[in-house]
Chains A and B, each alone.
Chain A
């Protein structure tokens, strides 16, 4: 309640200051300032005098100016007499003003309570870094670790701790970066590799990027029995256009798969089979990370996507592909990215855009023979002409 005590002090001071003149005995003032007005003219007269003495004004000019001022002085005095109305002390209104002044704090508190947040304490950055662990909120902890890591960027354990937190907060850029740093500083572990791969896939809206694929490949050699890397590597195959290979993998993995993987695999398998059998149009069911099970998923994102209507889902998927497109616009130096984008567009049935992306990619790698050759190969495999 210290806060409201301060409010009270502030308000009391204001009311005291504002009401003081209202309570003062009516003084017959008003004369003195009027005198000052005349003093202005007197001062001007003196000025004319000095200017004349300095030779800046001729005698006649000075005389003229003096006469004019004198005239103004007289006029002023006359008008003052006219305006010498006796101050009518408006007792009634004066009292009203007094009450109004006294009610200021009440209204202020009411307005403040409507818009202010008296219960939220100040949270200066430095203090947040010092709050006892039990009381700290998640973002306090993040802030604390971040501050620590700014000082000691080589502390791999810090990154290791922070990375999954970022993941849960949905900040995939930071998560991928932190996992990568942890890997560099502490070496590869299944947890870090999987985390990095997931973060990168989420970041790319479900596209298995080259670094993610490499991470999963390493994870597969480390933990050959784990299903997660195998599923994603299969999806990577599908995304690379190797539909047959992907189909075979999906079929193999589906045996003995448990939920949540089972559902995903079934869906992917259906899509791939449909495409292979040439059933047009290919289902706009892209390799979606969001619906893919993560053993440490962001529950919110998952729930959100699951709850989406098919329409919304499709929109969401479209946005994911656009995310990739946007990224490539910013940094076009990613051949795999371009290939994936072209493929995604084809999968979504957005052929024109696939062609446009292909053109952009060719522009990007103009002069780079091997990249161009790869792009041509891709175009042919997707039936986008040469």
Chain B
């Protein structure tokens, strides 16, 4: 083989691997990205039953009810709209009413969000960034000395 041919083989292999990777990336991106929505987003733009997404917001006060075994029902709210959530499993340490959460899962036919994972991060002041941003966008102020949403309208 000449030098050129050898280089050709190398480049061929490189391009082949790259094409394979691009294909895989495109395929995987189509299938495994998960969108993030807040309850008010859902009110504006409903999501089909069975479609996976991440639901973010605050755990509504007084909404957490423990059922059979490790089943838990709660309501996620962005203080404007709410979505009922059902989850089976152990909740993270910092799962608390009034705290930010991100739940991943899908709607069932009854309009209940069936979560298969619930995240609450390990920080006392933690608010999942998506939740914080979404809430801020809706005029809910956050952070130290946070003001209740009602206040913002006064």
Q: Return the chain A residue nearest B151 by Cβ.
A: A318
1/0 contact string of B142-154 vs chain A (CB within 8 Å):
0001111011001
- The answer, yes or no, to whether B121 is at the interface (CB within 8 Å) is no
Which B residues are in CB contact (< 8 Å) with A353?
148, 150
Instruction: Tell whether, in the assembled complex, residue A359 and residue B62 are in contact, meaning their CB atoms are under 8 Å apart.
Output: yes
If the complex has contacts A319-B145, A332-B97, are A363 and B63 also in contact, measured as CB distance less than 8 A? yes
B37 close to chain A: CB less than 8 A: no
User: In the complex, what's the smallest C-beta–C-beta distance from B78 to chain A, in angstroms?
Assistant: 14
In the assembly, what is the distance between CA of A82 and CA of B104, in Å?
Answer: 67
Chain A proximity of B125: nearest CB distance (Å): 12
Are A332 and B147 touching (Cβ within 8 A)? no
Which residue of B is nearest A322, CB measured? Answer: B148
* Inter-chain contacts of A318 with B (CB < 8 A): 147-148, 151, 154
How many angstroms between the C-alpha atoms of A312 and B63 in the bound complex? 34
CB distance from A32 to the nearest CB of B (A): 37
Q: Mark B47-79, 1 if CB is under 8 A from A, else 0.
A: 000000000000011110100000000000000
Q: B151–A364 contact, CB under 8 A?
A: no
Out of A319, A330, A352, A362, which one reaches B62, CB within 8 Å?
A362
Whether B61 pairs with A360 at a CB distance below 8 angstroms is yes
Task: Give the chain B neighbours of A163 by CB distance below 8 A.
Answer: none
Is the CB–CB distance between A332 and B148 below 8 Å?
no
CB-defined contacts of A329 to chain B, threshold 8 Å: 61, 97-98
Which single member of B63, B65, B97, B147 contacts A322 (CB below 8 Å)? B147
Size band of the interface chain A makes with B: 10 to 19
CA distance A363 to B59 in the complex (A): 13
Q: Which residues of A contact B63 (CB under 8 A)?
A: 363
Counting CB contacts under 8 A, is A350 at the interface?
yes
Beta-carbon contacts of A337-366 to B below 8 Å, as 1s and 0s? 000000000000010110000011111101
Does residue A176 face the partner (Cβ distance < 8 Å to B)? no
CB atoms of B150 and A360 under 8 A apart: no
A269 at the interface (CB under 8 A from B): no
Inter-chain contacts of A328 with B (CB < 8 A):
61
Contacts A330-B96, A332-B97 given; indicate if A350 touches B62 (C-beta within 8 A).
no
Q: Nearest chain B CB to A314's CB is how many angstroms away? A: 9
Q: Which residues, 301 to 328 on A, are CB-close (under 8 Å) to B?
A: 318-319, 322, 325-326, 328
Indicate with 1 or 0, residue by residue over B129-150, a CB within 8 angstroms of chain A CB atoms. Answer: 0000000000000000111101
- Complexed CA–CA distance, A352 and B60 (Å): 16
Write out the residue numbers on chain A whose beta carbons fall within 8 Å of the beta carbon of B61: 328-329, 332, 360, 363-364
Contacts of B145 in A (CB 8 A): 319
Closest chain B CB from A114 CB (angstroms): 30
Q: How far is the CB of A196 from chain B (nearest CB, A)?
A: 26
Measured CB to CB, the closest approach of chain A to B95, in angstroms, equals 13
Which chain A positions have C-beta within 8 A of B62?
332, 359-364, 366
Of the residues A330, A352, A359, A363, contact of B98 by C-beta under 8 Å: A330
A332 CA to B59 CA, complexed, in Å: 13
Inter-subunit contact A325/B97 (CB<8 Å): no
How far is the CB of A326 from the nearest CB of chain B, in Å? Answer: 8
CA distance A381 to B8 in the complex (A): 88
Supply 22 A–B pairs (Cβ within 8 Å), ascending by A.
A318-B147, A318-B151, A322-B146, A322-B147, A322-B151, A328-B61, A329-B61, A329-B98, A330-B96, A350-B150, A350-B154, A352-B150, A353-B150, A360-B61, A360-B62, A361-B62, A362-B62, A363-B62, A363-B63, A364-B61, A364-B62, A366-B65
| Chain A residues within 8 Å of B, Cβ to Cβ | 318-319, 322, 325-326, 328-330, 332, 350, 352-353, 359-364, 366
User: Which residues does B use to contact A, with CB under 8 Å?
Assistant: 60-63, 65, 96-98, 145-148, 150-151, 154
Since A322-B146, A353-B150 are in contact, a sample of 17 more A-B pairs with Cβ atoms closer than 8 Å, ordered by chain A residue number, is: A318-B147, A318-B151, A318-B154, A322-B151, A326-B98, A326-B146, A328-B61, A329-B61, A330-B96, A330-B98, A332-B61, A332-B62, A332-B97, A363-B61, A364-B62, A366-B62, A366-B65
Which 10 A-B pairs give the minimum distances between C-beta atoms?
Answer: A363-B62, A329-B98, A360-B61, A360-B62, A353-B150, A364-B62, A322-B148, A318-B151, A350-B150, A329-B61
